[in-house]
Amino acid sequence: MSAKDPIDLRQDRREWLKTSATVLGASLLPMPPLTAEASQAATTSLSHPAKTSEAKSNARFFSPAQHALVEELSETIIPADSHSGGAKAAKVADYIDQVLRESFDDNQKALWREGLRLIDVMSQHYHGKSFVNATPEDRIALLTVLSDHVQMTDLPEVRFFVELKRMTVTGYYTSKIGIHDELEYKGNRILKEYVGCDDQGPASS
Amino acid sequence: MAEPEVNLTRKYDAVIIGSGAAGGMAAHVLTSHGLQVLLLEAGKKLPIEQELRSMEWPYDNAHRGFLPPDSHSLSFNEYTIRNPPYGPGFEKSKHLHSYIGSSDYLKNIVVDERDNPFTGTNYAWVRARCLGGKTNIWGRLALRLSDYDFKAKTRDGYGEDWPISYGEIAPYYDKVDLYLGITGVKENLPYLPDSIFQRPTKLNCAEVTLKQGIQKMGRVLTQYRAGVTSDGLKHNKYRSRCYGRGACERKGGCDIHAAFDSPTGLIYPAMDTGNLTLRTNSVAREITVDPQTGKASGVHFVDSQTMKDYKVHARVVIVAASTLESARLLLLSKSRLYPNGLANSSGHVGHNFCEHVMGPGVAGRAKNLVGKPPTLDDGRPGGFYLTRFRNLAEKHPKFIRGYGFEGGSGSAMFPRGTDTHGFGASFKEEVRKNQGAFIGMGAFGEVLSRYENYVELDPVVKDKWGIPSLRFHYKFGDNEHRMAEDMKETAQEMFEAAGFEIVHVSSRVLTEGWSIHELGTARMGNDPKTSVLNQFEQSHDVKNLFVVDGSAFVNASCQNPTWTIMALCWRSCDYLAEELQKGNL
């Protein structure tokens, strides 16, 4: 699969839903129990949540495997680069977990559980691997399929992508890394004098 | 928790209902005349600095500055598809707020919609029941009206002229400027008179580009005229000058009170005179009337916490509960003498309801700023104001009256442009590089005052305190929709003239009420048959009753109303004190 090949998302999803372990029509049911592979991925992941979080793991929304998957998904949305850390360093998955854990919106919770499941079904279909085990290029290719079909809001995986991006963006740009390292935000401090265009040099170089 | 008891057995010189811009100003002026005043506020006295926390970083907030999960604020879509009262359908949320309440810093300031239901047509009614009301969270744009507004009927034939002219109110605008502080730049515009300004904020580079770009079209962009003290106020120990700190764009308020709010600007200094008594948690249900004289005798109110009823007596009653609440209270105050409600022999109470229409606007990028090092654009009380240009010298063929734009640009704590398509490394870089280049503005236009836009009491629905709710009959009309079309077109044409890359043009008209500038439900006028109040905001029918908030407006103009509410109120209260002294009330 290449990001450049045109994808027929509706055609493809019939295929992957057929070949996935779950039966057709179950796509709106909650996430099935963890697969052995996903558990393995979570426990071996270097980016596993800190010990303080583990102590409260009973209260978490995501299972360890789901948490690892959300970390990789959010990092694919906003990756680390030479300028600053990405969503993983900014602990965006912890933020999303908190929002969902506290949420009163059962539809939102169901969308996340279903969306994470569909991501792995899609990843198996296109790449023969779970998302966590796929290469960075394959991960990008998979999310590109969804990003290119954002108008198909009837599909739960598309709605999930929109929600994933929205919450990753919110979590990242309200984090220390997002505000200070990435955007180098200059405000929220006491000034002697207002600054304006004159103080900052002409607009054009 | 019960209120500390105030003496309700004595007869006050004046009782004021409401502690926002109008009630605070009435308290200031009347106590400075030596009157003994009781101020009633329906809401609590909040520990406001703890609520606002203007410099809190999102990552230090339990919910990144958003509402806690047990609370919900209504969205544009919800206002569009649902009808008031807005309680049903949101059972999962413990608290339900108007759209503005989508922030952790406002959750205790704006009311819970369920406790305060209303019915009728859709309306984004923002109410703040706490000491100071909406002045705790206002947008701070402090503009004067001119004779283009006061004498608008003379100019275009529509509606009514105000019973005052600019010359009569100008000295009171000056008093408000000096007492409360305002920043801005003199422009010498006949349709938007200058204030006595303190040190102005500065425009940033994209804003300068726009200002220059529209000059050739004869249009004017000026620094945001903010009701903020930038130089400090020697006579007020409760307010600091503006230090350009804090993310002023955030939905919240100013916890050092550089931005005007009624408690620190007006009420605390009034209490220091020893002439003001304050009772919060006091929900007025009726203005009582002396059946012998026909005059107002006081206020019947319920304690919002204990539900106990009280009555208090005063020589003068001043209604300042906000435009719609004041109309509601007059309509609630029915008696044998006044079967249609108090001060309502004209039948105009609740009618001629007007405001500002908003929504259309434009967002763009200054291409020469893309990829530049991050700039400091935040912390200013506001960006810019682009003044009215329609129906001044030339008559527009499609609509009467005018509109102005509020806008800003540059870096914000939360970057603009995250709705950019895509994801990944290129998305991240694009957001970073564009963050300082964004510029946007939205229009505020005059909604015509029309008798058929009105509120009345709902025959069935009551609020938490058993007081009948308002029923709305209010819709934007053709003039507003034609004006909104023009707003969108001129916004785009001006961004094009400035050479900006246009990212988004919006023609969407937001729900009625969105501007939070509701006005006109007890208008002033010289004719008691077609108006509720005279030029001193005094009831034509009941001489010792004054209504000093936005309900007195004859039309909405397109300028933000707070400064005019306070200037009118100051003038009216000077008159009131004089008349009281003469024994005429």
Considering the domain boundaries, does residue A162 fall inside one?
Answer: yes
Contact B366 A194 (CB under 8 A): no
Average pLDDT over residues A143-151: 94
Which residues in chain A have their CB less than 8 angstroms from residue B421's CB? 147, 150
Query: Quick check: is A36 in a domain?
Result: no
A26 is a domain residue: no
* Residues A189, A195, A199, A200, Cα dihedral to 10°: 70
Q: Please name the residue of chain B whose CA is at the shortest distance from the CA of residue A189.
A: B245
Q: Enumerate the residues of chain A whose CB falls inside 8 A of the CB of residue B428.
A: 78-79, 81, 86, 182
Residues 6+ apart with CB under 8 A from B477: B447, B448, B450
Torsion of CA B39, B570, B574, B544, to 10 degrees: -50
pLDDT for res A30: 39
pLDDT at A10: 84
Please, which residues have CB within 8 angstroms of residue B180's CB and are 6 or more apart in sequence? Answer: B227, B229, B233, B260, B265, B266, B566
Contacts of B64 in chain A (CB under 8 A): 95, 170-171, 174
Question: Which amino acid appears at position B376 of this protein?
Answer: L
Strand partners, B119: B471
List chain B pLDDT tens, one digit each, 585 residues.
Answer: 445 578 889 999 999 999 999 999 999 999 999 999 999 999 999 999 999 999 999 999 999 999 999 999 999 999 999 999 998 888 888 999 999 988 999 999 999 999 999 999 999 999 999 999 999 999 999 999 999 999 999 999 999 999 999 999 999 999 999 999 999 999 999 999 999 999 999 999 999 999 999 999 999 999 999 999 999 999 999 999 999 887 787 777 899 999 999 999 999 999 999 999 999 999 999 999 999 999 999 999 999 999 999 999 999 999 999 999 999 999 999 999 999 999 999 999 999 999 999 999 999 999 999 999 988 888 889 999 999 999 999 999 999 999 999 999 999 999 988 988 999 999 999 999 999 999 999 999 999 999 999 999 999 999 999 999 999 999 999 999 999 999 999 999 999 999 999 999 999 999 999 999 999 999 999 999 999 999 999 999 999 999 999 999 999 999 999 999 999 999 999 999 999 999 999
Q: Is residue A119 part of a domain?
A: yes
Of B206, B207, B411, the CB nearest to A186: B411
Alpha carbon A112 to chain centroid, angstroms: 10
Of B93, B378, B380, the CB nearest to A104: B93
| Structural domains in chain B plus CATH codes | 182-259+356-446+475-511 (3.30.410)
Binary contact (A183, B435; C-beta < 8 A): yes
CA distance B566 to B548: 8
pLDDT tens track for A163-185: 999 999 999 999 999 999 999 99
Give the pLDDT score at B18: 98
Sign of dihedral through CA atoms B163, B167, B168, B170? positive
- For residue A2, being part of any structural domain is answered with no
Q: Do A76 and B424 touch (CB under 8 A)?
A: yes
Could A78 and B247 be called an inter-chain contact, meaning their C-beta atoms sit closer than 8 Å? Answer: no
Instruction: Provide the whole-model pTM.
Output: 0.92
3-state secondary structure of B487: helix
Min Cα distance A18 → chain B (Å) is 29
Distance from CA of A16 to the nearest CA of B (A): 24
Q: In this structure, is residue A38 part of a structural domain?
A: no
Residue A25: the pLDDT is 40
Q: From B183, which residue of chain A is nearest by alpha-carbon distance?
A: A194
Domain that holds residue A122: 9-20+48-200
Q: 């992508």: which residue's tokens?
A: A161
Closest of B403, B371, B348 to residue B149, by C-alpha: B403
Q: Smallest Cα–Cα separation from B431: which of B416, B441, B413, B421?
A: B416
Q: CA A74 from chain center: how many Å? A: 3
Let me know if residue A70 belongs to a domain.
Answer: yes
In terms of Cα–Cα distance, which of B117, B522, B52 is closest to B327? B522
Asked if B134 and B126 touch (Cβ cutoff 8 Å), the reply is: yes
CA distance B365 to A134: 37
- Between A and B, how many CB-CB pairs are < 8 A? 144
Is residue A158 exposed (0-12), middle (13-18) or buried (19+ Cβ within 10 Å)? buried
**Packed helices A64-77 and A136-147: angle between N→C axes, nearest 10 degrees:** 80
pLDDT at residue A69 is higher than 80: yes
Total domains, chain A = 1
Chain-chain contact of B64 with A174 (C-beta, under 8 angstroms): yes
Q: Which residues pair with A54 in a beta bridge?
A: none
Q: Do B422 and A147 touch (CB under 8 A)?
A: yes
> Which residue of B52, B54, B59, B222 is the best one to mutate when testing the A interface, meaning the one whose CB has the most A CBs within 10 A?
B59
Q: Return the percent helix, strand and coil in chain B, to nearest 5.
A: 25, 20, 55
Average pLDDT rounded to a whole number, residues A122-135 = 94
d(CA B571, CA A13): 71
Beta bridge partners of B501: B365
Residue type, B222: T
* Predicted complex ipTM: 0.92
Give dist(CA B214, CA B493) in Å, integer: 9
Q: What is the pLDDT of residue B252?
A: 79
Of B92, B203, B424, the CB nearest to A196: B203
- Check whether A56 has a pLDDT greater than 80: no
pLDDT band at A4 (very low <50, low <70, confident <90, very high): low
Q: Of the candidates B352, B330, B332, B353, which has an alpha carbon nearest to the alpha carbon of residue B343?
A: B330
Q: Is residue A4 part of a domain?
A: no
Q: Which residues of B100-127 are buried (b: 16+ CB within 10 A; e: fewer)?
A: bbbbbbbbbbbbbbbebbbbbbbbbbbb
Chain A residue nearest residue B431, CA to CA: A183
